[in-house]
Amino acid sequence: MNELITRAFREEKQAIEERINTATILDLEVKISNLKDILNNPQSLLNFNMEDIKDYITEFEHDNLEYLKQALGLEFFLITDNELERIKNIISSVLEKIEKIYQEQKQEIDKLHNEIKKLENLEESVREIYNGSYISSEDLRILVEILNKYIDISEVNKLIGELCTLSIINISKVDELELEEIPDEELEIAQETNIDSNLVEALFSSYGYNIDLIKEETRNLLYRYGTLENMDAIFKLLEDNNIFVNIKRFQKQFCNILIHSNKENVSTIIELLKRDMIVNESSETLNEVFENVLCAQEIFINRKRAFRRYKKSGGSSGGGQNNGGRYENFVINHDYLESLGANVLKIIDSCEEVMRMNPNRLKRCVRDFDFYGIPKESYLNSPSAFKVTTNLETMDMFIELGGYEYACSNPSMLVRATNSPMFYRLYKAKEENEQVFRKTKKSILLPKRITVESEKGYGIDFTNGSEVVKQYIPEFSTDYGLLIEKDTFDYNMTNALNDELIKFLEENYKIDDLRYNFNGVIISRNKVLRNYELLIRHGQGGKFEALMYALTKNSILNEEEFNLVFDCAKKVLEKRGR
Amino acid sequence: MLQFLKDIGISDITILKMINNNSEDILYDLECDQVNCLEVIKYLQELNIQVIDDLLINEIGMFFKTKEYLVNKFSKFNISEIVDDINDDYIAIESVLYD
């Protein structure tokens, strides 16, 4: 670990340790013990130093106690029960006060010890980054706070940049470990088995299926690559669960499962579906639910098993690309969606593609939606939204064009590309002060002149949007886009938020967590922070041009609007010059 | 790929967008389920839905549903209103599918 970081941790630890005042607490412990002695034996007041409690009692109580102490010391003076009681009352009240202070002090010390413990854990987490681990954004925020106290800001930026980069590399390594692509040569390819067609027909018949409903071409695959044991085990499992597949409709899917899947996978899926049916109080039958997932045949097949590829005895498997099954994806996605509180059956029913997609992509989509505050119930009820990877940039477009609520209501619309004619049409509508968003009972919709391509609303099609709205395309001396594309955003914007240029924007133009307002031009705040963060990590921090790139990336602005943003942002330079 | 869609007049551009927007696996599944898919398209045409291309590109999952399933889903709505909504903004199909 970097020596500067180690030193900062050491100094922070020392600073906390210095605040731990054990002397006071030991002193209080002695006082409490002495006072308790007096309560048990008032005679011990004689040996008690009244100065010890002077600060905790009134002058009257002090004098009273002093008088009683002296009286106790006189042999000829007989102290009454009332006087003894008075001693006890005063001492009890002092004891109570001191015990309270003692508890507060103790809590403070425990808190400081806790802080040290946390600091040590954080130090360990940072050290672990160098051993292949990664750090959470909250830990990173605390780390920045600590480093800022002991190290020069420019050095902090450099160190944090390094740690972020390492951390991101490590995160992607973890992702790869979970879901590494199976190299083509490692795929298990179905071998020819050439089983007797009569035996297969008999097997089908024994479970009540008419094999003649399957087209000859598909049937031949069963004879050539299936095994009787595997088919029998799957048929038996289905029968035990009262599932009878419509083999006329699902012939290709079902035969693929019989050839490439196994009893264990089918059983796991059936059990998950049963659980979903109970959790979501489904009114469908298991048979119906099962046929819904049957459309997505590859979720029954292991990732290592080549799906749709076969091998002739002694021959090669032929060409073809890597296409293993998606069973593992289904199981991981199922658990993940369930943990989010989704009605998994509904997702299977309406968009089962989500179930087989790469789990990392699914998780990333969810993080994107959360990042922009899209309500969970909205995206979980709109599963097509998980199908794309450009969510963040599209969301920025909606924010800048006044369609944030529309996107929240219809997150599937985030599938649109940032250069979709729809955005140029939204710009025109905004320019002409048209109210295009229409609320219905269920959601918010747009008119066809905005959404339907063939309508050519406002004269805009796929080719001329930029031209029609007179979009200003600024030129930059560096290809910042290329730098941004090098990284995947990790939702950590600590560097950006600590940057002086951004601090200026935050103070002067932020209207809420989603938007900056530059004299009427709305710019997505997350877009700026996200892109600028990545640029900082590539050594572009503090550069005004880089900031302008982050501000205007993908924005549909005419020259006048661009200049408004520019004029507002450049005020930071004036501030810098002062 | 997806020749059966070309055969009923779906344009090459739409097919290309379908390929761009969906995984090879799901397109293969659609090939496997083409009889059903054609029935669904026919039903949507009967309803006078004019944005079938958009639905094929963006909501491919619905073409794996049976006609009966969709009839049941649509029956919960005022058909002409919801069809107008869908023709305006295809995203309105989500109200039908995910209700």
Question: Model confidence over A97-131: pLDDT tens digits?
Answer: 999 998 888 888 888 888 888 888 888 878 877 76
Say if the Cβ atoms of A384 and B94 lie within 8 Å.
Answer: yes
CB contact under 8 A, B28 and A308: yes
Residue range A212-237: mean pLDDT, rounded: 93
Q: What value does the mean pLDDT take over residues A227-248?
A: 94
Q: Which residues of chain B make contact with A351, given a CB cutoff of 8 A?
A: 59, 61, 97
Whether A485 shows a pLDDT value over 90: the answer reads: no
Q: Which two tokens stand for residue B19?
A: 């390929």
Q: Give chain A's end-to-end CA distance (angstroms, integer).
A: 38
A255, A448, A454, A455: best mutation site toward chain B, by most B Cβ within 10 Å? Answer: A448
Give A90 or A532, the one with higher predicted confidence: A532
Chain B residue with CA closest to A357: the answer is B23
Q: How many Å apart are CA A223 and CA A221, to the nearest integer?
A: 5
- The amino acid present at A205, given as its one-letter code, is S
Query: Helix A286-294 vs helix A344-351: angle between axes, to the nearest 10 degrees?
Result: 50
The rounded percent of chain B whose pLDDT value lies above 90 is 53
Question: Looking at CA atoms only, how far is residue B92 from chain A in angstroms?
Answer: 7
Percent of chain A with pLDDT strictly greater than 70: 92
From first CA to last CA, the distance across chain B in angstroms is 32
Specify whether the CB–CB gap between A255 and A214 falls below 8 A: yes
The Cα–Cα gap between A274 and A123 comes to 46
CA proximity to B37, closest of B9, B61, B12: B61
Can you state the percent helix, strand and coil of chain A, rounding each to 5? Answer: 65, 5, 30
Residue A364: the pLDDT is 85
Give residue A161's pLDDT band: very low, low, confident or very high (50, 70, 90). confident
Closest CA to A366 of A402, A394, A333, A409: A333
Of B23, B90, B99, the CB nearest to A451: B90
Residue A280 forms contact with B (CB below 8 Å) = no
Using CA coordinates, name the residue in chain B closest to A442: B95
Per-residue confidence band for A179, with pLDDT thresholds at 50, 70 and 90: low
Q: Which two tokens stand for residue A249?
A: 């409709």
Higher pLDDT, A355 or A385: A355
Nearest to A36 by CA among A120, A95, A113, A99: A95
The answer to whether the CB atoms of A448 and B58 lie below 8 A apart is no
Contact flag B25-A383 (C-beta cutoff 8 Å): no
Chain B environment of A284 (Cβ under 8 Å): none
Partner residue opposite B25 with nearest CB, options A356, A381, A450: A356
Percent of chain A with pLDDT over 90: 37
Q: Who among A252, A384, A412 is closest to B32 (CB)?
A: A252
Reading the block at residue A304, the tokens are 């290592």
pLDDT at A350 over 90: no
Chain A residues close to B98, C-beta within 8 Å: 346, 350, 381-383
Q: What is the pLDDT of residue A466?
A: 92
The Cα A350–Cα A269 span in angstroms is: 17
* Per-residue pLDDT reduced to its tens digit, A45-76: 888 888 888 888 888 888 888 888 888 777 66
- Residue A231: partners with Cβ closer than 8 Å, 6 or more residues away: A200, A203, A222, A258
Q: Which of A432-446, A558-572, B21-35 has the lowest mean pLDDT?
A: B21-35
Six-digit token pair at A165?
Answer: 């980069």
Q: Is residue A517 helix, strand or coil?
A: strand
Task: Assign A243 a pLDDT band (cuts: 50, 70, 90).
Answer: very high
- Mention every residue, 6+ apart, whose C-beta is less than 8 A from residue A259: A190, A221, A222, A225, A226
Is A171's pLDDT higher than 80?
no
Query: Which member of B23, B29, B89 has the closest CB to residue A451?
Result: B89
Are A263 and A237 spatial neighbours (Cβ–Cβ below 8 Å)?
A: yes
pLDDT digits (tens, 9 = 90+) for B85-96: 999 999 899 888
- A351/B contact by beta carbon, under 8 A: yes
**A468-A469-A472-A478 Cα dihedral, nearest 10 degrees:** -80
The β-bridge relationship of strands A515-518 and A444-445 is unpaired
Question: What is the band of A176 on the pLDDT scale with cuts at 50, 70, 90?
Answer: very low
Between CA B70 and CA B86 the distance in angstroms is 14
Question: Rounded to a whole number, what is the distance in Å from the CA of B15 to chain A's nearest CA?
Answer: 15
B33–A295 C-beta distance less than 8 A: yes
CA-based nearest residue in chain B for residue A411: B91
Interchain contact A420–B (C-beta under 8 A): no
In terms of pLDDT, which residue wins out, A61 or B15? B15
Task: Kindly state whether A410 is in contact with chain B, defined as any CB-CB distance less than 8 angstroms.
Answer: yes
Q: Which residue has the tokens 């996978």?
A: A265
Say yes or no: A411 contacts chain B, CB-CB below 8 A: no
The minimal CB distance from A445 to the residues B26, B51, B88 is found for B88
The SS3 call for residue A522 is strand
Name which residue leads in pLDDT, A171 or B43. B43
The token duo for A571 is 């005020």
Residues sharing a CB contact under 8 Å with residue A33, sequence separation 6 or more, in sequence order: none
User: How do residues A362-402 score in pLDDT, each as one tens digit?
Assistant: 888 888 888 888 888 888 888 888 876 657 889 999 999 99
Has residue A425 got a pLDDT over 90?
yes
Residue A509 has pLDDT above 90, yes or no: yes
Q: Do B35 and A249 touch (CB under 8 A)?
A: yes
Collect all residues of chain A within an 8 Å Cβ-Cβ radius of residue B51. Answer: 452
DSSP A373: T
Name which of A500, A428, A510, A483 is nearest A461 in CA terms: A428
| A391 neighbors A384 (Cβ within 8 angstroms) | no
Put simply, the answer to whether A446 touches B29 (Cβ < 8 Å) is no
Inform me whether the pLDDT recorded for A183 exceeds 90: no
At residue B50's C-alpha, the angle toward residues B48 and B52, to 5°, is 110
Lowest mean pLDDT across A64-73, A109-118, A263-272, A495-504: A64-73
Cα dihedral A382, A388, A390, A394, rounded to 10, equals: -30
Pick the closest to residue A407 from A416, A398, A419 (CA basis): A398
pLDDT at position A174: 46
Q: What is the spatial distance between Cα A253 and Cα A296, in angstroms, rounded to a whole number?
A: 8
A contacts of B58 (beta carbons < 8 Å): 384, 412, 415
Q: Decide if pLDDT at A268 tops 90.
A: yes
Lowest mean pLDDT among A39-53, A72-86, A507-521, B5-19: A72-86
Chain A residues with CB under 8 Å of B36 CB are 249
Give SS3 for A305: strand
Is the pLDDT at A322 greater than 60, yes or no? no
Residues of A with CB below 8 A from B33's CB?
249-250, 253, 295
Which residue has better confidence, B16 or A175? Answer: B16
- How far from chain centre, in Å, is Cα A47? 65
pLDDT of residue A578: 47
Q: Rounded to an integer, what distance in angstroms lies between the CA atom of residue A446 and that of residue A376?
A: 22
> A75-102 burial string, b = 16+ CB within 10 Å, else e?
eeeeeeeebeebbeebbeebbeebeebb
CA A138 – CA A170 distance, rounded (Å): 17
Write out pLDDT tens, residues A2-15: 788 888 999 999 98
Give contacts of A 438-467 with B, CB under 8 A: 440, 442-443, 445-448, 450-453
pLDDT value at residue A311? 62
Cα torsion A377, A379, A384, A386 to 10°: value is: -130
Contact B26 A346 (CB under 8 A): no
Q: Distance between CA B5 and CA A18 in Å, rounded?
A: 77
A vs B: CB pairs below 8 A: 91
Across all residues in chain A, what is the average pLDDT?
86
Residue of A nearest to B35 (CA): A249
Element holding B85 (H helix, E strand): helix B79-88
Of A195 and A453, the structure prediction assigns the larger pLDDT to A195
Could you tell me how many helices (H) and strands (E) chain B has, helices first?
A: 8, 0
Query: B70: Cβ–Cβ under 8 A, 6 or more apart, which residues?
Result: B40, B43, B44, B62, B96
pLDDT confidence of A177, banded at 50, 70, 90? very low
Q: Residues A398, A402, A408, A409: is their CA dihedral positive or negative? A: negative
